[in-house]
A and B are shown apart, each in its own frame.
Chain A
């Protein structure tokens, strides 16, 4: 193309004149003195940009409303951040735990879990996580729900003892002065005052509140306490819109304090300053003599299932941010702490459904070809007036509600239905031996073939319309029989229509869901019925996304295979 351009056009002249003078051939220049190639590329690029700008609205529309949501949905099939987001400390602490030990994890893990769970319960996230983990192990849902109600009492035994030792431990102010960064306290006071002023003046107040910050150095001496109290203070601010300086901390904060002080030395406590030392040192000295309750006992006391190491192994196995668990579940495998294993036999269903979906879609496609081809042939060979009328008959069911058509099949096919009544009446079938034609595979295939038939007839018809009748006549005049003329001359020319119709019908039927749900019974349901169930009933969106992704992949692979075998160029909609 560019070569051609150098030969012609106004720029060509200067180039030729240059070489005519026997000088060295430099780059071909355009009229404005730029190299021609560059100038052409510019022109082309401008054109491309203009074209892009023209389709941009549509492109953006499709990206935003179609591609992005689908991608987002499919991404859920591997996404598993809910565990590590809801239980950040536990997932880290659990990494070291050996799930084959047959015992509950140790106190460090349980303490981390207590802080996580109390925070999650305040944010109302614990039950959502329970639902998520219940997909993997039955019973975790209620374990989280019930324990979530009680976890803010965990550590009460320490709270009581600290308060008995120094009543000031009960005071929110004590905690504030011990924990809060003075700079934050000042900022927060200021923010509170601003907000009060805004409310007074009835103004909108949008400034976000400064979130609680722990005083420097505290985290070194009292790591867990700083962490637990910080969480408490921020949740009080954000979730409840309370001033943490006026709220007594949760009991688990005292648990953290107890655990920290048991590790602390007089020297480390001294680094926090004289005031803090005066408060902490007596407590530090006393904790060794505190009555203690093992954390495991607190949990087992709340719900005895916590003693089951499988619960913890499940949390551990699903701690990573991304999981293959949903995909494994979609092919009847399961992810266990010991690796991948097959689902128990009485729960395997998805492979069966995938196979059934593919098989039935193929059968439906085949019966659409068988029924649609003669109709399309007839339509394309009739005079226009008649064929238009018949075409309306083909399209008529197309304009009727899908549900109406499906229900009509129920009326026709059921045991007390029209067809059975007629068969019994003419004596073909005994009254007590009425045929079962609905709520099974047969019913689904019949109803779906009927519903999808127009998608086969229309592309076939439009392709057949373009086949000149003279070809068949020519074949016949050369001595071909009717069959040879049809099979060797007419049929090959209609193949693009069959291809288009088959792809349309197959892809539509593979994702069909309403008709199989209504007339499929137990043996005629498709994989899409399970996807719909997981989307709207069980709310296991990850599994639904994994099933959907697999279905999409299967369609793409089949499409690719079709392209290799038949060639996608051989598909025509007319």
Chain B
């Protein structure tokens, strides 16, 4: 059945091919991603299959997504774009689009429709948060806790992170205001829909900092996604925030006594952008690849290797089992209904405005 659908999808891609791919394409492309398990999932799910379809194609990976915006800006100033396709989080995609460094695209023209014919723009829906952003996955920043250090009543809400009496011990939080401020206000009694309105005011910001002050002494601040899993594994912290995929591999692949706390997980998106200023041949190659790599089956395939939710609605039913562990992946997806009963969607526009200001305040607060 699965084989059949792959064949069908491939067939569809091949049938669609002649119209748009008549022109020459480069036989190498440089893809930029995050490295680690995530990049591996991309290689397994679509880069390798694509390479098999196109003999002689060379795919170079650059693990620079972390600094993609800065590097693309520098490349643009130097007038020499060496990347063909860049994997970035949605907020970075918006910034690149704002700066004219990423190419705007037409979803229905560039991306393949769903197998039932739903156009890509509907299949991806709201997740196309910027004119330049080609969504791939939904991930979330959420908490994991040591099951052996929380007693008989494991934490059930995000506010337990702020409860030092019930759950004594260190916690790890990301060293930036984003997410932490929202959680702090939420646990200070602000309704979810009012969080950004409150955070806009000076008093609201003070309120969030005051809430964070309650646990400040007990926080280990992380800046790399691998920190929290390590701290949890070492028993350095009781509970800590990180990306859900990292926690999945800690729990399922490394078998650590850690469990997920999905409450108030913050959804974020990751996807491709095409840099502006590519040559016609490079652009043709990239478009061909993106069309393949973001089709329904490919995005579903990616979920076999990492617990991030596919960005296409039509991919969700196709999500199967983990490639090595053989466990069902659906319950580990941040988008699974059981996990997504109380979530927050990261407000890109708001943070684009307040990021500079709040970051300065946050760093000053940290240094106090």
Contacts and interface: CB of A to CB of B under 8 A. Distances in A.
A522 interface: yes
Interface in B340-364: 349, 352-357, 359-361, 363-364
A536 B221 contact: no
B363 A349 contact: yes
A326 to B, nearest CB: 13
A141 B67 contact: no
A540 B175 CA distance: 18
B347 to A, nearest CB: 11
A335 interface: no
B98 A145 contact: yes
Nearest to B355: A538
A14 interface: no
A530 B175 CA distance: 12
A5 B66 CA distance: 66
A81 to B, nearest CB: 13
Interface string B98-122: 1110000000000000000000000
A549 interface: no
Interface string B35-53: 0000000000000000000
A450 interface: no
Given A128-B98, A131-B95, A416-B234, A347 B364 contact: yes
Interface residues on A, range: 35 or more
Contacts of A349: 360, 363-364, 367
Contacts of B367: 349, 352-353, 522-523, 525
A134 B359 CA distance: 13
B70 A539 contact: yes
Contacts of A130: 98
A134 B351 CA distance: 12
Nearest to A134: B356
Interface residues on B, range: 20 to 34
A142 B349 contact: yes
A347 B362 CA distance: 8
B69 interface: yes
A347 B358 CA distance: 9
B98 A127 contact: yes
Interface string A508-548: 00000000011001110100001000011111100000000
A142 B357 contact: no
Contact of B99 (A127, A523, A540): A127
Interface in A284-309: none
B21 interface: no
Nearest to B98: A127
Given A131-B98, A145-B98, A348 B359 contact: no
B348 to A, nearest CB: 10
Contact of A141 (B66, B70, B223, B353): B353
A90 interface: no
Interface in A394-431: 414-417
A521 B221 contact: yes
Contacts of B360: 347, 349
Nearest to A142: B353
Interface string B220-250: 1101100000000011100000000000000
B201 to A, nearest CB: 12
Contacts of B170: 415
B359 A536 contact: no
A74 to B, nearest CB: 15
Contacts of A517: 223
A142 to B, nearest CB: 5
B6 interface: no
Contact of A536 (B67, B356, B364, B366): B67
Contacts of B223: 517
A522 B213 CA distance: 14
A134 B353 contact: yes
Interface in A85-141: 123-125, 127-128, 130-131, 134-135, 138-141
A439 interface: yes
Contacts of A518: 224
B202 to A, nearest CB: 9
B322 interface: no
B192 interface: no
Contacts of B99: 124, 127-128, 131
B55 to A, nearest CB: 28
A267 interface: no
A352 B360 CA distance: 13
A539 B94 CA distance: 14
Contacts of B357: 138, 347
A569 interface: no
A200 interface: no
Interface string B3-17: 000000000000000
Q: Which of B66, B349, B353, B359 has most A Cβ within 10 Å?
A: B353
A24 interface: no
Interface in B130-146: none
Contacts of A540: 356
Interface string B59-82: 000000011011001000000000
Contacts of B355: 538
A536 B70 contact: yes
B221 A522 contact: yes
Nearest to B172: A439
A537 B357 CA distance: 14
Nearest to A131: B98
A275 interface: no
A317 B349 CA distance: 26
Contacts of A530: 363
A346 B365 contact: yes
A348 B175 CA distance: 17
Given A416-B234, A536-B70, A539-B69, A346 B364 contact: yes
B319 to A, nearest CB: 33
Contacts of B366: 522
A352 B367 CA distance: 8
B234 A138 contact: no
Given A414-B234, A535-B70, A536-B70, A347 B356 contact: no
Nearest to A329: B360
A297 to B, nearest CB: 24
A153 B22 CA distance: 39
B220 A521 contact: yes
A454 to B, nearest CB: 26
Contacts of A539: 69-70, 73, 95
Contacts of A346: 361, 364-365
Nearest to A332: B364
Interface string A140-162: 11100100000000000000000
B235 A536 contact: no
A417 B236 CA distance: 9
Contacts of A145: 98, 352
Given A347-B361, A535-B70, A536-B66, A138 B98 contact: no
Contacts of B354: 138-139
B364 A348 contact: yes
A535 B175 CA distance: 17
Interface string A475-517: 0000000000000000000000000000000000000000001
Nearest to A439: B220
Interface of B: 66-67, 69-70, 73, 95, 98-100, 170, 175, 220-221, 223-224, 234-236, 349, 352-357, 359-361, 363-367
Report the 3 A-B pairs with minimum CB-CB distance, sorted nearest first.
A127-B98, A124-B100, A138-B357
Interface of A: 123-125, 127-128, 130-131, 134-135, 138-142, 145, 346-349, 352-353, 414-417, 439, 517-518, 521-523, 525, 530, 535-540
12 contacts: A141-B352, A141-B353, A347-B357, A347-B360, A348-B364, A349-B363, A352-B367, A416-B234, A518-B224, A523-B367, A535-B70, A539-B70
Given A139-B353, A539-B69, 13 more contacts: A125-B100, A128-B99, A131-B99, A134-B356, A142-B352, A415-B170, A518-B224, A525-B367, A536-B66, A538-B355, A538-B359, A539-B73, A540-B356
